[in-house]
Amino acid sequence: MNDFSANTYNPDVLSCLANLSNDEVFTPPNIVNKMLDMLPQELFSDKNTTFLDPACKSGVFLREIAKRLIVGLESKIPDLQKRIDHIFHKQLFGIAITEMTSLLSRRSVYCSKFPNGNYSITKFDNAEGNIRFKKIKHVWNGEKCTFCGASKKQFGDERRESLETHAYEFIHTVKLKEIFNMKFDVIIGNPPYQLEVGIEKDNYSIPIYHKFVNQAKKLNPRYLCMIVPSRWFAGGRGLDDFRDSMLCDTRLRSIYDYPEAVDCFPGTQIKGGVCYFLWDRDNKGLCKVTTNLNGVESNTVERPLLEPSCDTFIRYNAAVEILHKVIVKSTSFMENLVSPQTPFGFVTSFKGHGKSAKNSVVMYMSGGFAYVATEDVKKGIELINTYKVFIPKAGSGSDKFPHTILGQPFVGTPNTVCNQTYLAIGPMKSDNECQNLITYISTKFFRFMVLMKKNTQDAMRGVYSFVPIQDFSESWTDEKLYAKYGLTKDEIAFIESMIRPMDLGGGGNE
Residue 20 has pLDDT above 50, yes or no: no
pLDDT at 357: 81
Taking the C-alpha atoms of residue 460 and residue 106, their distance in angstroms, rounded to an integer, is 45
Q: pLDDT tens, 116-159?
A: 999 999 999 999 999 999 988 899 998 889 999 888 887 876 66
| pTM of the predicted model over 0.75 | yes
Structurally, the chain folds into a number of domains equal to 1
Q: Which residue has the higher pLDDT, 294 or 490?
A: 490
Residue 110 lies in a domain: no
- Model pLDDT, residue 400: 77
Q: Judge whether residue 166 has pLDDT over 90.
A: no
Q: State the pLDDT at residue 11.
A: 46
Residues 6+ apart with CB under 8 A from 132: 94, 95, 96, 102, 169, 179
412 located within any domain: yes
Q: Which domain holds residue 359?
A: 334-498
Which of these, 437, 426, 506, lies nearest to 476 by C-alpha position?
437
Measured CA to CA, the distance from residue 85 to residue 288 in angstroms comes to: 36
Residue 255, in any domain of the structure:
no
Give a yes or no: residue 125 inside a domain: no
Cα-to-chain-centroid distance, residue 315:
12
Kind and range of the H or E element at 367? none
Q: What is the pLDDT of residues 34-81, one digit of tens each?
A: 999 999 999 999 999 999 999 999 999 999 999 999 999 999 999 999
Q: How confident is the model over 191-246, as pLDDT tens digits?
A: 999 887 665 454 578 899 999 999 999 999 999 999 999 999 988 878 999 999 99
pLDDT at 404: 92
- CA–CA separation, 414 and 384 (whole Å): 6
Judge whether 418 lies within some domain: yes
For residue 332, with 0-12 CB atoms within 10 Å meaning exposed, 13-18 middle and 19 or more buried, which class applies? exposed
- Pick from 396, 364, 398, 397: which is nearest to 380 by CA? 364
Exposure of 235 in the CB half-sphere (CA atoms within 13 A): 14
pLDDT of 88 > 60? The answer is: yes
Q: Is residue 82 part of a domain?
A: no
- Burial of 224-233, coded b for 16+ CB within 10 Å and e otherwise, reads bbbbbbbbbb
Mean pLDDT of 12-26: 51
Q: What is the CA angle 109-114-120, rounded to 5?
A: 60
pLDDT tens digits along 367-385: 899 999 999 998 999 999 9
**What mean pLDDT, rounded, does the chain reach?**
89
Task: Please give, one letter per residue, the 3-state secondary structure of 279-339.
Answer: EECCCCCCEEEEEEECCEECCCEEECCCECCCCECCCCCCHHHHHHHHHHCCCCEHHHCEC
Cα distances (angstroms) measured from residue 507 to each of 94, 410, 422: 54, 5, 14
Sheet holding 410-412, edge to edge: 410-412, 387-392, 422-428
| pLDDT at residue 80 in the model | 96
- First vs last C-alpha separation in the chain: 70
The CA–CA distances, whole Å, from 483 to 326, 434, 437, 448, 488 equal: 11, 23, 18, 16, 9
pLDDT given at position 156: 76
What pLDDT score does 257 carry?
A: 96
Residue 7 forms part of a structural domain: no
Name the 3-class secondary structure at 52.
Answer: strand
Residues whose CB is less than 8 angstroms from the CB of residue 191 and which lie 6 or more positions away in sequence, other chains included: 54, 55, 168, 170, 208, 209, 211, 212, 213, 226, 228
The answer to the question of residue 179 being in a domain is no
Burial class (CB in 10 A: 0-12, 13-18, 19+), 483: exposed
E strand intervals along 346-493: 360-365, 368-373, 387-392, 410-412, 416-418, 422-428
Q: Of 311-315, 335-339, 387-391, 465-469, which range is least confident?
A: 311-315
- In this prediction, residue 454 carries a pLDDT of 86
Q: What is the CATH number of the domain that holds 360?
A: 3.90.220
pLDDT of residue 3: 40
Report cis status (omega within 30 of 0) of the bond before 427. yes
Pick the more confident residue, 510 or 245: 245
Note whether 164 and 135 are within 8 A (CB).
no
pLDDT single digits (tens) 179-189: 998 999 999 99
Residue 506, classified by CB atoms within 10 Å of its CB into exposed (0-12), middle (13-18) or buried (19+), is exposed
Give the span between the Cα atoms of 278 and 289, in whole angstroms.
11
Asked if residue 242 lies in contact with residue 213, where contact means CB atoms within 8 angstroms, the answer is yes
The C-alpha atoms of residue 413 and residue 384 are separated, in whole angstroms, by 9
Amino acid 15: pLDDT: 52
Q: Comparing 98-102, 144-148, 164-168, which segment has the lowest mean pLDDT?
A: 164-168
Which of the four pLDDT bands, split at 50, 70 and 90, describes residue 8? very low
DSSP 8-state secondary structure symbol assigned to residue 26: P
Tell me what pLDDT residue 159 has. Answer: 61
Give the list of residues 6+ apart from residue 91 with CB closer than 8 angstroms, or none: 47, 49, 50, 51, 69
Residue closest to 183 by CA, chosen among 76, 93, 97: 93
pLDDT at res. 150: 87
